[in-house]
């Protein structure tokens, strides 16, 4: 038995070194194409709310500490890619904004390397499926993909629309329209070779399963805008599509434990996203009234850099310097 001890010790040492090596490789591998610097998110009010964007960015900062990407959220509430708007939208205060009006400016200023786009929720105008509304959505998505390709973006990923939860009909109301929108978009994986990450059907399945044991369960209080749990389901679907092992994670917090200060990272990322999304919207311009005015981009870039310094200090385990509120 005494002669076995050195052998066992060497085995444990080699196994430990192997685990460390595997962990290091996982932490330094690049999740996006080589040369990626800016990751852009386009969408409506759900994207503007941005919790799923923050979840995704926090995950990548925590799991890939040697990589540095700028996650840009330019989601605009009420927006469509179809150009449609109901006659009395927002009680008649303004029509739905149309992505066609601002996309050129957004792309010119953000210069993205990777783009995620999530449209559909507003495009069916919350009505039953009808070809007069479905066609403009399909045409709008094809136009958007073509415009994004022209930028030379390294990767374009469309996201199916989130689940809609009708007050009386649940997933058997307007969500049936979104089922068709999502099915068409997923079909473009084969017909047009698009990249499409499915958010819609996983969220729908999750909601329906929860309802079996809790009929009052909701992902979105108003049926449209998901809370933290729903946003995690969106982030989880995107991360899974990108090859990340998050299928069994109950929430984003569970994935951040890879870094002992993961919650600090998420708090700083959230602060930065809140500043930058309004700054980007104001800088690129839009026709949607009743939006917060963002700070000037020069000031926003300074805040971005200050928060980036803090985030990197936390990632490395150093005590971050605080910045004074502005």
In-domain check, residue 15: no
Distance CA 253, CA 234 (A): 15
Q: Judge contact between 217 and 203, C-beta under 8 A.
A: no
If phi > 0 it is left, if psi is from -120 to 50 it is alpha, else beta; for residue 107 that is alpha
| Domain extent for 277 | 32-315
Mean pLDDT of 136-159: 98
Distance CA 315, CA 234 (A): 25
Distance CA 204, CA 208 (A): 6
Q: Which secondary structure element, helix H or strand E, spans residue 70, and what is its range?
A: strand 70-73
Q: Judge contact between 26 and 67, C-beta under 8 A.
A: no
In-domain check, residue 12: no
In-domain check, residue 226: yes
Locate tokens 């050129």: which residue? 104
pTM for this entry: 0.89
- pLDDT at position 304 is 98
In-domain check, residue 252: yes
Please give the DSSP secondary-structure letter assigned to residue 162.
P
Position 318 confidence tier, pLDDT thresholds 50, 70, 90: low
Q: Average per-residue pLDDT in the chain?
A: 91
Instruction: For residue 229, give both structure tokens.
Output: 């749990």
Distance CA 255, CA 236 (A): 10
User: Length of the chain, please?
Assistant: 326
Mean pLDDT of 112-118: 98
In-domain check, residue 1: no
Exposure b/e, 124-163, CB count within 10 A at least 16 = b: bbbeeeeeebbebbbebbebbbebbeebebebbbbbbbbb
Q: Judge contact between 39 and 74, C-beta under 8 A.
A: no
Distance CA 185, CA 259 (A): 36
DSSP-derived pairing of the beta strands 195-197 and 38-43: unpaired
Closest CA to 42 of 8, 76, 4: 76
Distance CA 52, CA 280 (A): 18
In-domain check, residue 5: no
In-domain check, residue 26: no
In-domain check, residue 321: no
- pLDDT at position 319 is 53
Q: Judge contact between 141 and 130, C-beta under 8 A.
A: no
* SS3 call for 41: strand
Task: Work out the burial of residue 219: count CB atoms within 10 Å of its CB; fewer than 13 is exposed, 13-18 middle, 19 or more buried.
Answer: buried
Q: Please report, for the domain that includes residue 221, its CATH number.
A: 3.40.50.1110
- pLDDT at position 20 is 37
Position 17 confidence tier, pLDDT thresholds 50, 70, 90: very low
The count of structural domains within the chain is 1
Position 31 confidence tier, pLDDT thresholds 50, 70, 90: confident
**Cβ neighbours of 12 (radius 10 Å):** 10
List pLDDT tens digits, range 205-234. 999 999 999 999 999 999 999 999 999 999
Q: Could you give the angle at the alpha carbon of 52 between the alpha carbons of 49 and 57, nearest 5°?
A: 115
């Amino acid at each position: 038995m005494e002669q076995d001890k050195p052998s066992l010790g060497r085995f444990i040492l080699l196994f430990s070194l192997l685990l460390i090596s595997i962990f290091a490789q996982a932490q330094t591998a690049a999740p996006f194409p080589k040369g990626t610097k800016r990751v852009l998110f386009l969408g409506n009010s759900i994207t503007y709310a941005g919790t799923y964007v923050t979840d995704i960015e926090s995950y990548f900062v925590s799991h890939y500490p040697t990589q540095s990407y700028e996650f840009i959220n330019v989601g605009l509430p009420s927006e469509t890619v179809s150009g449609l708007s109901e006659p009395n939208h927002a009680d008649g205060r303004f029509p739905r904004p149309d992505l066609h009006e601002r996309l050129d400016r957004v792309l010119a200023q953000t210069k993205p390397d990777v783009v995620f786009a999530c449209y559909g929720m507003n495009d069916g105008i919350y009505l039953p499926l009808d070809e007069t509304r479905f066609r403009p959505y399909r045409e709008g998505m094809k136009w958007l993909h073509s415009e994004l390709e022209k930028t030379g973006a390294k990767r374009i990923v469309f996201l199916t629309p989130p689940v809609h939860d009708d007050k009386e009909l649940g997933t058997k109301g307007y969500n049936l329209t979104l089922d068709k929108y999502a099915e068409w978009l997923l079909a473009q994986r084969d017909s047009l070779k698009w990249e499409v990450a499915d958010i819609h059907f996983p969220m729908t399945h999750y909601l329906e399963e929860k309802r079996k044991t809790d009929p009052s369960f909701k992902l979105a209080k108003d049926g449209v805008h998901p809370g933290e749990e729903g946003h995690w389901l969106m982030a989880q679907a995107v991360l899974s599509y990108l090859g990340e092992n998050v299928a069994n994670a109950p929430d984003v917090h569970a994935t951040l434990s890879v870094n002992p200060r993961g919650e600090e990272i998420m708090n700083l990322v959230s602060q930065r996203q809140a500043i930058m999304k309004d700054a980007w919207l104001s800088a690129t311009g839009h026709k949607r009234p009743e939006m917060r005015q963002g700070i000037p981009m020069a000031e926003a870039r300074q805040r971005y850099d200050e928060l980036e310094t803090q985030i990197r200090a936390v990632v490395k385990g150093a005590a971050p310097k605080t910045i004074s509120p502005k």
